[in-house]
């Protein structure tokens, strides 16, 4: 894995811009009747659009590290917000009757209590591990969406987002290695953060984002845990064949820095386990 150079990463042009996405060439008939796609894309646009809240919490924690702070401010936050804007534009182009702003405001109100700074990990190395898990999750999600997208403009868009998320992972991992030198977290502590954060993926944020998309899209209906289970079931079905399991498990194991032989032994077992967990 190439080591990201923070300086070069900051001055390099963004790999893609929203203006380059051909929203006017969307093949509407391929996606407009896909209810699950509507909800997944709307929910993803909400979570991405809230990146400024996460950035401020992280920036406070990293305030005395100018290099990481600069990267978070100049690259990570603008890229995450661009994901949110591009997904919003896609949703509003295909489903123009959907009131995105009202649904997003509802999501912000519901989700903000889960973004408290005290929910950050106790040390910077461990927080970098947590960020690696989050970026692994988004890389896997957009990798899956890219594989199964029914519409070509969407395929391009989620492909760009996926590449950004992998690049974010590489930065957080690089910073983890740096903090690890001084903070020396044990493998046990790292494994605990990975496990905890894996348990959190797709929970409150996904539930609340889908709830707000659903209730604005279907006025008068209340989103229930049963509706959430229905989405989870469809997602599991999508993931069965096309989820990038091996890449995901490799990214998750990396901060543990297992010796080569143990890593090679653990990988196939964990990939099998991940298949059972993601798509039972």
Q: Which residues bind Fe ion (CB under 5 A)?
A: 48, 80, 83, 135, 165, 168
Burial of 163 (0-12, 13-18, 19+ CB in 10 A): middle
For residue 164, the minimal CB distance to Fe ion (Å) is 6
Tell me whether residue 151 or residue 165 sits nearer to Fe ion (CB atom).
165
For residue 205, the minimal CB distance to Fe ion (Å) is 12
In sequence order, what DSSP letters do the residues of 57-81 get, joined into one string? Answer: HHHHHTTT-HHHHHHIIIIIHHHHH
Tell me whether residue 80 or residue 205 sits nearer to Fe ion (CB atom).
80
For residue 169, the minimal CB distance to Fe ion (Å) is 8
Beta carbons of 72 and 58 less than 8 angstroms apart: yes
Tell me whether residue 135 or residue 205 sits nearer to Fe ion (CB atom).
135
For residue 42, the minimal CB distance to Fe ion (Å) is 15
For residue 19, the minimal CB distance to Fe ion (Å) is 18
Q: How far apart are CA 245 and CA 98, in angstroms?
A: 33
Tell me whether residue 78 or residue 236 sits nearer to Fe ion (CB atom).
78
Tell me whether residue 103 or residue 166 sits nearer to Fe ion (CB atom).
166
Beta carbons of 255 and 190 less than 8 angstroms apart: yes
Range 136-140 contact pairs with CB under 8 angstroms and sequence separation of 24 or more: 136/169, 136/248, 136/251, 136/252, 137/201, 137/202, 138/165, 138/168, 139/165, 139/166, 139/169, 139/244, 139/247, 139/248, 139/251, 140/243, 140/244, 140/247, 140/248
């Amino acid at each position: 894995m190439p080591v990201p150079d923070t300086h070069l990463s900051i001055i390099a042009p963004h790999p893609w811009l929203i203006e380059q996405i051909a929203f006017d060439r969307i093949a509407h008939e391929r996606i407009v009747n896909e209810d699950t796609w509507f909800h997944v894309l709307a929910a993803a646009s909400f979570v991405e659009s809230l990146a400024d809240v996460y950035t401020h919490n992280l920036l406070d924690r990293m305030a005395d590290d100018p290099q990481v702070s600069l990267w978070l401010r100049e690259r990570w936050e603008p890229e995450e917000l661009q994901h949110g804007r591009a997904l919003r534009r896609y949703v509003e182009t295909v489903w123009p009757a959907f009131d995105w702003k009202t649904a997003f405001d509802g999501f912000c109100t519901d989700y903000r209590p889960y973004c408290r700074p005290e929910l950050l990990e106790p040390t910077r190395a461990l927080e970098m591990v947590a960020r690696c898990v989050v970026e692994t999750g988004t890389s896997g999600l957009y990798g899956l969406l890219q594989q199964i997208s029914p519409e070509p403009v969407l395929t391009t868009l989620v492909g760009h987002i996926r590449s950004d998320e992998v690049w974010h992972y590489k930065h957080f991992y690089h910073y983890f290695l740096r903090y690890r030198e001084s903070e020396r977290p044990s493998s046990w502590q790292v494994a605990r953060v990975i496990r905890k954060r894996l348990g959190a993926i797709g929970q409150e944020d996904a539930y609340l984002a889908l709830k707000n998309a659903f209730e604005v899209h279907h006025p008068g209906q209340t989103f229930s845990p049963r509706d959430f289970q229905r989405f989870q079931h469809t997602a599991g079905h999508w993931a069965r064949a096309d989820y990038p399991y091996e890449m995901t498990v490799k990214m998750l194991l990396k901060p543990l820095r297992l010796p080569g032989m143990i890593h090679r032994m653990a990988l196939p077992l964990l990939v099998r386990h991940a298949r059972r967990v993601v798509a039972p």
